[in-house]
Structure 1
Amino acid sequence: MQYLNISAKDNPRIKRVIKLQKSGHYRREEGFFVLEGLRTVDDAADNGILIEELYFTNDIIEKHPSYIKKFAQNSNFCAIISETVAKNISDTTSTQGVFAVAQFPKNKAQIESGKKYIALENLQDPSNLGAVARTAEALGIDAIIISGNSCDPFSPKSIRASMGTLLRVPLIFADNMAEFIGKLDMPTFACVVQSDAEKLSDMDFSGGAVCVIGNEANGLTDETVEKCRKRITIPMKGKAESLNAAAAAAIVMWEMVK
């Protein structure tokens, strides 16, 4: 199979790829995002994600021809890029040499009674979002609800932190978490650091629930706490005042499914 060669950084297609890497607004506007790395692209392909464009270095095609052939069969455009172009596209200091422009995954979900959801309000750290996604998949949480001003689940850092899990776990997007929670006809729990909140271990999640985790620094907004039916807390010993958002979410999700 013959592939186009691209060595210029100012190539229009390369400019678009770089813009998709850097701009969450542009990703949402276009409905596409960038995947980097052989394993991530392979995972996306195996999960039915549409790959629109494929870019790879000569080194990659020499070492992994079968993978490139597999990816190229379902791609609308393929090109060999120079190492310089690869470095310009890459979000990391050491490029992996293969990139795919992919359509947003069709893993959006709807709220259903009896199911279990973890909701994230204003979460800002992609590493935390990725960790929550990995735990949610491992424990069988039905979907992750993400507020509009949380970090982008399709940013390079989020995808990398989730090890591709965000390509598989069902996602629900809520522009305003308080309004979203207020419309639900099912048990909703605000996870807070308040001594008068009920203990997480005392809760019964068997009939389904939505548990909401807040921002790393400020927790949940007052509006969202007010809309939830109950306030719950994770009892802590020692002098720690709070837990990392991903750690708190992991404990909550474990309690939800056990």
Structure 2
Amino acid sequence: MIEISSKTNDHFRRWADLSSARGIKKHQEFILMGEKLIHEFLENPSFRVKAEIVNEDLKSLTMTAASLKGQRIPVFKLPKALFNEIDVVGTHFNLLVLEPKEITPLKEGAKPEGLEVISPLGDPSNLGALARSALAFGASKMILTEESCNPYHPKAIKASAGALLKLPLYKIGKFTEFVAANEQIYALDMKGENVASFKWPKNLRLAIGEEGPGFSGLKGLQRLAVATQSVESLNATVAASIALYSYSCAQN
């Protein structure tokens, strides 16, 4: 076990940088946080584990995990004060430093297969919540636009309850350019056909817009809406969950 006691340590400085999308991209690492998420992950690791971080009250999990047997994973012990600076979502549990997977570009001209969710969401918590619902209601993949936040941001993974580690992820360029070049894209908007009565096709792409601007000014989109009473609109991820549930029911 390697002990670190200074903020000037290169490892600590790098981990501290992983609380931002910029840092994750720069270092090609992200930190998995959360007791339940880590126990689930260690049952069937789907990402390369680069290190484990503990404090004086925590015992290493990677040293005894059957799924990691034979792998030499460095374990770093930090004082609680330094550990808490890395544990940005406040889990007070072991942290795993993982290597992110390269997100595959969506093949040009590819037709939708099942329900594909397009997300330009820049807020990590919103992206995570959307991914959680997408996985729960049978989406085949999530397509991240150029505007989307990094799916390996700690707040995104926490909000997704680990769904972002399981859902197939693809990337495209700017959303407006993708819309102009593709058909079969439905946008969840305040003005559109009610999802409750919509005849859901098996294969389609459903775009979720940022709250506020939505899809104003975009042409060529087929629009769907979640009907509401007494309020003008719902939170984007709440509306998306309702739409995804509606799709799921239509397929069963």
Q: Which one is further off, 74-83 or 158-167?
A: 74-83
Q: In structure 1, what is the Cα distance between the partners aligned to 2:132 and 2:71?
A: 27
Quote the offset at 1:116 in angstroms: 0.9
Aligned mate of 1:52, from 45, 50, 53: 50
Q: Match for residue 98 of structure 1?
A: 94
Amino acid at match of 2:170: I
Unaligned residue ranges in structure 2 (runs of 5+): none
SS at match of 1:236: coil
Q: Match for residue 133 of structure 1?
A: 131
Q: Which one is further off, 50-59 or 102-111?
A: 102-111
- Residues 174-217 of structure 1: CA distance to partner in whole angstroms, max 9, x if unpaired? 231122233335x21122112xx323234333330011111122
Q: In structure 2, what is the Cα distance between the partners aligned to 1:177 and 1:13?
A: 36
What does residue range 26-175 of structure 1 map to in structure 2 within 5 Å? 26-45=23-42, 46-61=44-59, 68-70=63-65, 74=71, 76-92=73-89, 94-105=90-101, 108=104, 110=106, 112-121=111-120, 123-175=121-173
SS at match of 2:161: coil
Cα 1:232–1:38 change in 2 (3 A) is closer
Give 1 or 2: higher helix fraction. 1
Q: Match for residue 223 of structure 2?
A: 231
Q: In structure 2, what is the Cα distance between the partners aligned to 1:10 and 1:41?
A: 27
SS at match of 2:190: coil
Quote the offset at 1:130 in angstroms: 1.8
TM-score (norm 1): 0.83
Q: In structure 1, what is the Cα distance between the partners aligned to 2:105 and 2:133?
A: 18
- Output the aligned Cα RMSD: 2.4
Identical aligned residues as a percent: 24
Q: In structure 2, what is the Cα distance between the partners aligned to 1:69 and 1:221?
A: 53
Q: Match for residue 208 of structure 2?
A: 213
SS at match of 1:192: strand
**TM superposition outliers: structure 1 runs of 4+ over 6 Å:** none
Cα 1:171–1:79 change in 2 (3 A) is same
TM-score (norm 2): 0.85
Cα 1:133–1:176 change in 2 (3 A) is same
Cα 1:253–1:53 change in 2 (3 A) is same
- Residues 238-258 of structure 1: CA distance to partner in whole angstroms, max 9, x if unpaired? x21111111110111122222
Amino acid at match of 2:6: A
Cα 1:42–1:219 change in 2 (3 A) is same
Amino acid at match of 1:160: K
Cα 1:180–1:74 change in 2 (3 A) is farther
